Chains A and B, each alone.
Chain A
């Protein structure tokens, strides 16, 4: 029997950071944590201020479609607050935005990554980045005065030829300030983020697979179908969801072009609708007391909704980008 020599005990390597380093690391870590604190505080404060509304309205706050605060003659206030109609409107408008904006963004990203000559590429990248820097009120103004007359005409065509599809129907041919118009403005507004995320993902497509496809005699489109889409599609879905988050939260541009009415309107061409964000600023000016609290509660709903969409989207995009490395 041979006895194994006892394994040496692992030495611990310790470095005791100097004071200046400890201060540095502490400060930087502390500030790093502040982002978390801010995000938590946003949720906390909005929930806190809206608490009364959640308590009195209950689930009805989400499902209800009325927003009224009636003061009777004897001074008692009857509240009936529900963001249901606006939530439906939010989703509806954002859906229009995605349906129009995402294909354009993906095409642009494909064009920039695989087709465009260097000079045009650089120019278009600047154009897309500039779009991201335009203030949303500019989109609102332009959308109202320039885009809306055009979109109204398109809406007319859709109504004329596709009325048999329920969402393109309308009680009357009145297409001004409709969810469709708002969706079109939002479609343009989400193009920068969806395009830049898609471009980042397409650019990560493993080069060896691209070369393999070309070496097999693939055309560019054949290569894109066989290699780029299988690799990038889930990441593009993530990018589209980031766009969705933006579309959910957009306020001023939607407010400017949309005729905000507190009713559920599923006819996207028909001239009224709403979303949660724009409803908040519409009601803010005249709101007092419990209505202000209800609006803060609505803000909380919006916050949670966008946060969830964004977190999910970021997780998806990150996973795709990692898989390419």
Chain B
């Protein structure tokens, strides 16, 4: 048993590639760029698609051959697989970058202060964008968000409490229902509120009707996120509460919910982000007014998505500029919510 005395031993990670080992990869990729460029130049193939495709083919092939020469066939196949997986992820990243870039680029042109102080009551969508504004839509969207939060958050959290704390005989089934509910198409939520409330009750198209439609979409999001956070609250905290003689209600109210508070706020924010930009349900439920309406229970209401929708449908250059600017405002709202949810909860955002 050779015992060596070493002076100072530093942690090493010999399995990680050094810059020198990565150099061939870099050279091969540069060579692939040059090769794709050359082929595009001399053959009838043209366009960005041809560049991208050829670069992918050359890059993948050359890296794979390089690996295969050193380490054999399995390594060559492995190299192809990792190139393909990376390309797939990059292809997913591209539209997001493009969407953000385009929205900012096109939307910024229409931003001006009076946008937030005026409505479309006296202006037409095909007027230059300096005329009129989206105050009515902003107010409408804030109303919609507020009412939806008031309706969905208690419902979502209580449902989550049912699923995590009571675990009644129907818990599995309700879980299933909540999941099914999160798949209800937004257009169906709108149609439902129309068919049930607007047709049959005194509630007509207004912010409240729109918010109820949005709540159908928001409840499952809040429930599922809240449930995830409540499950993170350690079991012994609950047992500790009950061992002290507290009732289950006191335990939940004073221990479980406060422990999960940040997560529950995140759940709320995620729910808001889910509905803030919804358009389809509003088409049946809020009327899409161009006038400022402070009463959420009566009369047609505007909303940002509706504003965008109108601008888009009209199709004149000015109205489309309005649509881009409107969507930029909406996107900023969603981004703020998104970042807020991230920093607050550090939890993952559930997909729609």
Contacts and interface: CB of A to CB of B under 8 A. Distances in A.
Same complex? yes
A201 B161 CA distance: 25
Interface in B307-328: 308-309, 312, 323-324, 327
Contact of A306 (B184, B248, B249): B184
Contacts of A124: 89, 92-93
Contacts of A106: 88
A195 interface: yes
A131 interface: yes
Nearest to A189: B352
Given A21-B249, A23-B249, A49-B199, A28 B184 contact: no
A135 B330 contact: yes
Contacts of B335: 130
Interface in A247-264: 248-252, 256
Nearest to B277: A135
A20 B248 CA distance: 9
Interface stretch (A52-60, A71-79, A110-118, A175-183): A110-118
B93 A127 contact: yes
Contacts of B87: 107
Nearest to B86: A111
A45 B80 CA distance: 53
A219 interface: yes
A142 B102 CA distance: 8
Nearest to B306: A137
A220 interface: yes
B276 A135 contact: yes
B65 interface: no
A307 B191 contact: no
Contact of B277 (A28, A108, A134, A302): A134
Given A127-B92, A303-B185, A311 B280 contact: no
A128 B350 CA distance: 10
A99 interface: no
A93 interface: no
A251 B305 CA distance: 13
B62 to A, nearest CB: 18
State which size class the interface on A falls in: 35 or more
Given A107-B89, A303-B185, A138 B103 contact: yes
B1 to A, nearest CB: 26
B24 interface: no
A258 B269 CA distance: 32
Interface string B152-171: 00110011011101101011
A3 B342 CA distance: 70
A133 B174 contact: no
A214 B237 CA distance: 40
B279 A39 contact: no
Contact of B188 (A140, A142, A249): A249
Contact of B196 (A45, A107, A147, A192): A45
A128 B188 contact: no
A42 interface: yes
Please give me the 5 A-B residue pairs with the lowest Cβ-Cβ distance, nearest first. Answer: A135-B277, A249-B185, A107-B88, A32-B162, A310-B183
